[in-house]
Structure 1
Amino acid sequence: MEKKALPKVLVVSTNAWRDNTGINTLIEFFKCWNPDRIAQIYTKSTLPKTTVCNRFFSISENAVMRSVINRRITTGREVQNETVNSTISNPSAEVEQKIYSFYKGKVRELLSICREIVWKLGKWKTAELDHFIDEFDADVLFIPIYPTIYMGRIQKYIITRTQKPVVSYLADDNYTYKSVHKDPISLIHRHILRKYVKYIVEHSKKLMVIAPKQKEEYDRIFGVDSVVMTKGIDFEQFEPYQVGNPIKLVYTGKLIIGRWKSLAAIAETFQKINRNGVRITLDIYTTDSLTDEQNKLLNRNGCSVKGALTLEQVKIVQKEADTLVFVESLEEKFKNTARLSFSTKITDYLRSGKCIFAIGDKDIAPIDYFSRYDSAITATTYEEIQDKLTELVNVPDMVLEYAKKAYACGVEHHERGRMDSVLIHTIEQATLK
């Protein structure tokens, strides 16, 4: 379909759209759109840098923070795409980044509470925001649903003001109590958040979700027929490869929310597998700083931490691997944190044409997905990690077998043309009376 024929879409999201970053799901969604017929409102000071969209309105979190004291501060403004001038100075964004860095590794709940208070007391509902909304005059609103109350409040305001049809998008479990800690603050936060999630879904012409398991649960909760939508992938021809000896596993990503313990369990398993010679290895690439305990448990038995990589280096390292590792936590405290999420890492892995070894509780969406489509070797307990890796080294033909299965699954469910059609049809249907 001609891009010029598509409806005008206003996206209300958290981060500025910047190509070639890890936060790119929505950018990938709207690559099929005419950039003149899409606009973004977001809640950071960072400037956009993308070819997908031409109009942007920034509500600066730093300015909202300062507006609690000084109400005369301008908190929202239309901004230009940084593609035009990549040397633009942005002190406000630098201040925000310092704040996020300060809280990194500390109690996350503290940052969450402070942020909600700031957005509740600060000034964001402004004449500048209203003018941008009215002047763009979208045909439809695209509303990603976040685990933050302030975003729900902003989105509800824009939905109410415009009275435009809404397509909402849930990429995580932002409604049930299953994925939150059972402390009073988390439960109160979730109780308030649920009201905004419910409002958005009930005012949506269509709800989009990210995984089959999430569709089943949220269809049942809200009585809807949601659409499964992930970022589209451009697939190249599958290339069979010679499995190495030793078999080379690679993990690229964060070690947070208990993931490092799943990787440490792999290293523990290697002690037995590699006792008479190295038959399998694991290279871990992460931007996270390691504690002494993590260093000790992750650097042993053929497992080693290599440090951080650029996006281009990640592609090279993954291409050289035999098997790509996907991990979530098996610890009781964290195993439900990503219960209904679906990491962009999964679609990237499927595109790679490599075997996937996935660890996680059987009740989370990624493991459900891999099991449902038999597209990865999965381990849902610590005991299974040893069993599955032992089988893998004893039957190395499994590597290429599951590489083919992963690739075929990706093509069937995530090919870009298919995903583009799903998005276009859903948004066009939403505009119909």
Structure 2
Amino acid sequence: MERHRRVLIVGTVPYNEMSTSRAFDSYFHFWEKENLAQIFSNAKAPAKGHCGTLYQITDARMLKRRFDKKTKTGVIFNYEALNDGWKDSSLEVGSVTAKMYGWGSKKNSLVYLLRKFIWKKKYWCTDELLSWLDKFSPECVFLSFSDDFFIPQIALFVAERYNIPIVSSIGDDYYFNYKFSLSPLYHIYKLSYRRLIRKVFSHKGSAIYIGNKIRDKYNESFGLDGKTVYLTSEIKRHPFREIPVRSPVISYFGNIRLGRNESLREIGDALGRIDSSYILNVYSNEKDEHYIGIFDGSRNVKFCGTVPYSEVMKKSAESDILIVVEGFKKKDVDITRYSLSTKVADSLSSGAAVFAYGSAECGAIEYAESTGCITTCTDKDMLEVSLRSLIYDTELQRRNYEKGITVVENNHRLENSTGIFESVVNGVCGDL
């Protein structure tokens, strides 16, 4: 059996089934651990995942290094010494590091530029990092796209040092999403970022995309030949069952920012008008009351907090209706226009009835409607009608279930996704 190429992942978060990096499983599920390594910036210690070795560089250590020459900016983690998993799904850790991570995760131009200032190459490009890289001897760089500077910069540095290709994983439109702003800092950030990304795309390599919509835009704009690799799911499909009208279990799993919390509240209100006993259970890692507070006073939305992915699988199997949502406001739509998260694959794979609600311009909603097996509402005035139709029409439920089997088989089967990804890597690396 031929081995896989030695791939260096450069991304913010290391693979873990309870984090956003769970999507990596759609690419690397069958990869040998000794042929996978990752450089990452999240402050939390990694758990056992796909990589045999990892190198962590954090905001806190980079900032400290500017004032203390003795500070080590990198930490090496090897698979054997890692814990089996995280006790919780939060990406934050305690004390000062949590504050630094929270600061670094804020999305504004000043933070991006400050981070660029802190992440000087001479501080992260150490003899230890170079020795670690030489020992692994990468044959390809997998760039998990980020809207920060340092992730693409590190990926480009490694690719140029070893004269190897870059495969960029693109799920969000960080490049073309150039909004109107009176802030000079925004334009400084955006122009500098776009210049860096053009350098990445001018380097030899290819790309993979979360959906066809973003694939077509980037392939055409940059002369790439990247492919769509749909995300997969570990959730096992249960047999068809009708939605119990008296007490349906209705669940949402995932991020509640970018207007999703408002859409969830609207769904809850509509459910309450259909039957005052109906409850929408919302499971999310979110801790900020600014986003959670919208559910206060709602009799039909219950915010349940975070659960591990093992519980997500269990609760998805127990759910009669799974919800996919996006926001309606332009500022939110601009960010989610091409997004297609793991929860869509999870929902389709579960066998539950799936209800999608949000702007038709959002990637997840557009994809949901295109499948023909997800009841989709893109008009606020039709929300209650659409929910009633799904809950009371058993023939619709059965048709969606049967069509869902085909959609999952065609788009979200693990062997398909990993096979497409491997073909992209082999295509840019050439023969072994």
Same-fold status (TM-score > 0.5): yes
Q: Residue type of the partner of 1:63?
A: R
Give the equivalent residue in structure 2 for 1:176: 176
Residue 160 of structure 1 corresponds to 160
Aligned match of 1:304: 302
Q: Secondary structure at the match of 1:334?
A: helix
Task: Measure, in 1, the Cα distance between the counterparts of 2:418 and 2:121.
Answer: 40
CA displacement, residues 339-379 of structure 1 (integer Å, 9 cap, x when unaligned): 11211111111211112111222122112211222231112
Aligned AA for 2:156? K
Deviation at 1:293, TM superposition (A): 5.4
| Residues in 2 aligned to 1:172 and 1:285: alpha-carbon distance in whole angstroms | 23
Letter in 1 for 2:252: Y
Query: When the two structures are aligned, how many residues end up with a matched partner?
Result: 421
Counterpart of 1:16 in structure 2 is: 14
Q: Which of 404, 410, 413 in structure 2 is aligned with 1:412?
A: 410
Structure 2 alignment gaps of length 5 or more: 87-91
Q: In the aligned structure 1, how far is the partner of 2:180 from the partner of 2:325?
A: 20
Amino acid at match of 1:269: A
In the TM superposition, residue 329 of structure 1 has moved relative to its aligned partner by: 0.7
Query: How far does the alpha carbon of each residue in 1:141-166 deviate from its partner, in whole angstroms, 9 at most, with x for none?
Result: 22222111121222222222121122
Does the 8 A contact of 2:177 with 2:335 survive in 1? no
Between 190-199 and 392-401, the greater mean CA deviation after superposition: 392-401
How far did residue 59 of structure 1 move? 2.1
Deviations 1:109-148 (A, max 9, x none): 5544433332148711222222222232222222222111
Q: Distance in 1 between matches of 2:205 and 2:355?
A: 38
* Residue number among 23, 26, 36 corresponding to 1:25 in the alignment: 23
- 1:55 is aligned, of 53, 56, 63, to 53
In the alignment, is the contact (CA less than 8 A) between 2:373 and 2:399 conserved in 1?
no
Q: 1:269: Cα distance to partner?
A: 2.1
State the alpha-carbon separation in 2 of the partners of residues 232 and 425 from structure 1: 17
Q: Is the 8 A contact 1:232 1:417 kept in 2?
A: no
Taking the TM superposition and a 5 Å limit, the aligned residue runs for 1:166-315 are 166-177=166-177, 180=179, 182=181, 184=183, 185-234=185-234, 236=236, 238-246=238-246, 247-274=248-275, 278=277, 280-289=278-287, 290=289, 294-296=294-296, 299-300=298-299, 302-315=300-313
Cα distance in 1 for partners of 2:148, 2:293 equals: 33
* Residues 113 and 421 (structure 1), Cα distance of their counterparts in 2 relative to 1, 3 Å cut: same
Q: Secondary structure at the match of 1:356?
A: strand
Give the CA deviation at 1:232: 3.5
TM-score between the two structures when normalised by the length of structure 1: 0.87
Matched, 1:399 2:401: no
- C-alpha separation in 2, matches of 1:86 and 1:241: 35
- Alpha carbons of structure 1 residues 87 and 427: separation in structure 2 relative to 1, 3 Å: closer
Q: Which runs of 5+ in 1 are unaligned?
A: none
**Residues 47-92 of structure 1: CA deviation (Å, up to 9, x unaligned):** 332242212222233211111112332212433236556799xxx9
Q: CA RMSD for the aligned pairs?
A: 2.9
> Per-residue displacement from partner, 1:375-433 (whole Å, max 9, x unpaired)?
31112231232331132234243233323333421221110111121122111111128
Q: In 1, Cα distance between the equivalents of 2:346 and 2:235?
A: 10
1:132 aligns with 2:132: yes
Q: Post-superposition, which runs of at least 4 consecutive aligned residues in structure 1 deviate over 6 A?
A: none
Partner of residue 344, structure 1: 342
Contact 1:354/1:402 (8 A) holds in 2: no
Specify the alignment match of 1:431 in structure 2.
429
Q: Could you tell me how far apart the structure 1 residues matched to 2:40 and 2:274 are?
A: 49
Match of 1:75 among 68, 73, 76: 73
What residue number does 1:96 align with?
A: 97
